[in-house]
Structure 1
Amino acid sequence: MKVEKTVEAPDQEDVEMDGKHLSLRVGRIISAEKHPDARSLVVVQVDVGEASPTTVVSGLLKLFPLDQVLNRMVILLCNLRPAKVRGVLSQAMVMCATSPDKVEILDPPGGAEPGDRVTFLGFLAEPEKELFDKKKEQVLCDLCTDGHCVATYRGAAFIVAGKGVCRAQTLSHCAVK
C-alpha cells in the first residue's frame, strides 16, 4: 500500500523575509501639515507615481520645518499594512537614517522620479503585497548606512536603476528605519 505525502505550502508567517520583500519607492512630498489630534505628528501626502497620493503619518518629520519637507524627494516603504494613527490612515513609512542624536531623511539619487523602485543588488523579486509587523521587523533590523552614508540592506546598496544609490546626508554606520 502506497501512502501519498501531502506537502503544505508554508504559512505566510513562516516565510523567511529579506530585502526583496520590501516595496521601496521614490516619492515627492506634495503637502505637509500638523496632525489635527497630535502635536508630535505630521501628516504628509506623497506622490509615488500613482493615481492618488500616499498618506503618511510620521513623528520623524516633526524634526524638520514643514516648509523644508514640502517638495522634498524621499524613499517610502510602501507595502506596510495601513494603520490608523490617531484617526488618520497611514499607508507608508518615510525611510530615515537614525543615530541617538540625529535623524536624516534618506535622499534618492539625482534624477530619480516619484514611483521609481528602490532595490538591492542580489535581492531582486516582486515585493510582498503587504508586510505584517513581524515580517517588517525581520527586514528592518538589517538596514543601515555604510561608511559612505549609502543606505544598505545586508551590505547591498539601495539602488534606483540607472540613477544611482540612496544615501543619508552625514550619518554613516547608522540604522535605517
Structure 2
Amino acid sequence: KSAELAADVAKLEKEIQEVQRQLVEAEKAGGIKQIPIPKLVKSVEKSEPPPATLAPPAKQAKAEAPAKKEKSGGEKKAAGGGGKKAENAAADDAIDVGRLDLRVGRIIKCEKHPDADALYVEQIDVGEPTPRTVVSGLVRHVPLDQMQNRLVVVLCNLKPAKMRGVESRAMVMCASSPEKVEIMEVDQSSQPGTPVLCPPYTHRPDAQLNPKKKVWETVAVDLKVCPEGYAVWKDCPLLVGGNTKMTAPTLRGVFIK
C-alpha cells in the first residue's frame, strides 16, 4: 500500500511539472518574460555555536562610545560657534548710526562753484593724507568768509557724487529747517579726523554706504537736534571722540543732514 501511495505521488508530481511546462510555453508565446527562480536547498549542516572569540568586539564597541560622544560634542560646539558668528554678522548688518563715518573736518579752502551760484566747493581736511573735495549748497545760508578755516562735522562714507561737474566726496552736516540751515559746531580744540561716536551703538562704519541698502536714508530719520541744542540719534547724544557734543547755534528740534 505504501508503494502504491508513493507511485501516486510521483505521478501527480509529473503531471504538475507537465502543467507548469505548458504554462511557461504559453507565457513565452504571449511575450511574457520568464525569470528563473532558484531552488531552495535545505541545509543539512549542523549549526555550531559562535566561537568564544566574538565576545571582545562588544567590549571594544563600548570603549569606542565615549569617542563618538566626544565627536558629537565637538560638532555641537562647532554649531554653537557658527551661531555666534551669525549673530555678530547680523549685529554688524543692523542699520544704525554706528555705520556712519562721521568725522571732524577743517575747511582749508572754500570758493563758489564755477557753474552753480548756490553751491560752494570746499577742500576739507578729515585726517587723511590729502583733503577731500566737498560740494555744499550753503551759499544762501553761510557767508563765504565764515566758511574759511572752519571746523565742521563731515559724513565721509557716502558714495561720491558729481554736482554740476564737480565730484563731492563727503557731506558737511547741518541742522536744517525749510527756512534756515546751520552748520553743526564742535569744540574748537577738536582735531580733524576725530570720529563722532554715539554710545551705546558700536562704531563700525562701512567703507562706503551702499545706496541700494538705504542706510543713510534710514538713519537720517532719527538724526536730530534735541531741544537742548545738541545732536542725537534716537535720543542718544553724538559725541566727538566720545567726549564732547556737536551742537547747532540756534535751531532746535530739526533734522541734521
Identity of aligned residues (%): 47
| Residue 137 (str. 1) matches residue 217 (str. 2) | yes
| Greater strand fraction, Structure 1 or Structure 2 | 1
Letter in 2 for 1:164: T
Bigger CA drift: 157-166 or 80-89? 157-166
| Residue 164 (str. 1) matches residue 247 (str. 2) | no
| Residue 49 (str. 1) matches residue 111 (str. 2) | no
SS of the residue 2:105 aligns to: strand
TM-score between both structures, scaled by the size of structure 1: 0.88
Alpha-carbon distance in structure 2 between the residues aligned to 1:28 and 1:83? 21
| Residue 36 (str. 1) matches residue 102 (str. 2) | no
Structure 1, unpaired ranges of 5+: 1-6, 10-14
SS of the residue 1:123 aligns to: coil
| Residue 80 (str. 1) matches residue 142 (str. 2) | no
| Residue 65 (str. 1) matches residue 143 (str. 2) | yes
| Residue 92 (str. 1) matches residue 170 (str. 2) | yes
Which among 206, 209, 219 is matched to residue 128 of structure 1?
A: 206
Name which structure has the greater RCO, CA cutoff 8 Å, separation 6+. Answer: 1
Work out whether residues 109 and 163 of structure 1, in 8 Å CA contact, stay in contact via their aligned partners in 2.
Answer: no
Work out whether residues 26 and 112 of structure 1, in 8 Å CA contact, stay in contact via their aligned partners in 2.
Answer: yes
Count of residue correspondences: 171
Work out whether residues 23 and 77 of structure 1, in 8 Å CA contact, stay in contact via their aligned partners in 2.
Answer: yes
Q: Which entry has the higher C-alpha Rg, 1 or 2? A: 2
Structure 2, unpaired ranges of 5+: 1-82, 87-92
Alpha-carbon distance in structure 1 between the residues aligned to 2:133 and 2:139? 13
State the partner residue of 2:105: 27
What per-residue deviation string (whole Å, max 9, x for no partner) do you get for residues 27-80 of structure 1?
Answer: 010111111111111100101111100111111354211111101100000000
State the partner residue of 2:52: none
TM-score between both structures, scaled by the size of structure 2: 0.62
| Greater helix fraction, Structure 1 or Structure 2 | 2
Work out whether residues 140 and 176 of structure 1, in 8 Å CA contact, stay in contact via their aligned partners in 2.
Answer: yes
Alpha-carbon distance in structure 2 between the residues aligned to 1:124 and 1:70? 33
SS of the residue 1:56 aligns to: strand
State the partner residue of 1:103: 181
Alpha-carbon distance in structure 2 between the residues aligned to 1:61 and 1:168? 18
Work out whether residues 151 and 185 of structure 2, in 8 Å CA contact, stay in contact via their aligned partners in 1.
Answer: yes
List 4+ stretches of structure 1 deviating above 6 A. Answer: none
- Aligned-residue offset at 1:163: 4.2
| Closer/same/farther in 2, CA of residues 107 and 61 from structure 1, 3 Å limit | farther
| Closer/same/farther in 2, CA of residues 49 and 61 from structure 1, 3 Å limit | farther
Which among 229, 237, 240 is matched to residue 149 of structure 1?
A: 229
Alpha-carbon distance in structure 2 between the residues aligned to 1:117 and 1:100? 29
What per-residue deviation string (whole Å, max 9, x for no partner) do you get for residues 7-29 of structure 1?
Answer: 9x8xxxxx441100000000010
